[in-house]
Structure 1
C-alpha cells in the first residue's frame, strides 16, 4: 500500500499543479471587459470559472487604479471572499444582476477573514482599496457594462 501511495502522490500533485492550483504568479491572461461607474471607465478581468475565481487577484503586487476583477457566478447566492495570498488591499463591491452595488467591503491583505454580500448576488467587483470611496461610489450605485445586460 505504501508503494502505491508513493507512486500516486506525484501524479496527484502534477494533476493539481496542471489545473493551476499550484499557481505562483498572478493570473494576468483572463478575458477583459469594460465597465462604467458613471463617468468612470473600468478595465476589468473576468473570473468566470471556479479556478479563476479561486485564484482571483492572488500574488498580484500592483494593479493600475482603473483596473479590477469582476467575479461572475452561475447563480445568485451570498458570496463570501477572503484575502489569503492576496497582497493588495482591496474593496469588494457585491453587485446584483442589474449592476446595482448591494454593499462594499474593505479587505485587508493576506487575511482569512470572511467578507460577504448583504444579499444574494452573482457579481463581485474587486478594485484597489479606496477607489470607490474616492469616486463617491456607495451601495445603491448603478454600474453598467456587458455583464449586466440580460
Structure 2
C-alpha cells in the first residue's frame, strides 16, 4: 500500500513518460555538444501524454518536459513502446539525475523512475543516447527557442 501511495505521489509531482501531444512548436536543445530537435510538453495534458504510443524516436529527436516549479519528479513508461533515457535538470538547466535505458512498461502497475534531486526540466531521448554522447551530472542543457507558457 505504501509503495502504491509513493508511486502516486511521485506521479502527481512529476508527470510521466508517455506520448505525442505538445502545446508549442518544436524547438532544439543542445546537450554535451549534441543538438536535438524536441517537442515540448509545457502543460499538464502534454506532460501526461509524453511519448505514449510512439513506435520509434529518431536519434536526434526527443521530448522536453517543462514544469512551472522545481520539485522531485517521477516518470513512468505506461503505454510507452520504446526504451528511453530520462534526464532531469534543475532550474538552472544543470543535469541532476538520469534514468538510463528505461524499458517500456509491461507490468501493471508500471514502475516509477524518480529523479535523484529536484528538477524543473526533463528531457527524454532514445535509450542509449546519454551514454553515447557522454552525458555527465552537471552538464548544462541549452534551449534554443521559446518555451512559451508553462502551466
What TM-score bracket applies, with the shorter chain setting the length?
Answer: 0.7 to 0.9
Residue 44 of structure 2: aligned partner: 50
Residue 121 of structure 2: aligned partner: 123
1:71-121 CA deviation, whole Å, 9 max, x = no partner? 011101111000010000001000112111101102110251111111111
| Aligned 1:34-49 pairs, distance under 5 A | 34-49=28-43
CA distance in 2, matches of 1:50, 1:102: 22
* Runs of 4+ more than 3 Å apart: 25-30, 146-149
Higher relative contact order (CA 8 A, sep 6+): 2
SS in 1 for 2:93: coil
| Aligned 1:46-125 pairs, distance under 5 A | 46-106=40-100, 107-111=102-106, 112-125=110-123
RMSD: 2.2
The unaligned stretches of length 5 or more in structure 2 are 1-18
CA distance in 2, matches of 1:100, 1:148: 18
Distance 1:140 1:110, change over 3 A: same
Q: Normalising by the residue count of structure 2, what TM-score does the alignment of the two structures yield?
A: 0.76
Query: 1:101·1:143 contact (CA, 8 Å) conserved in 2?
Result: yes
CA distance in 2, matches of 1:45, 1:126: 10
The alignment covers a number of residue pairs equal to: 125
The unaligned stretches of length 5 or more in structure 1 are 1-24
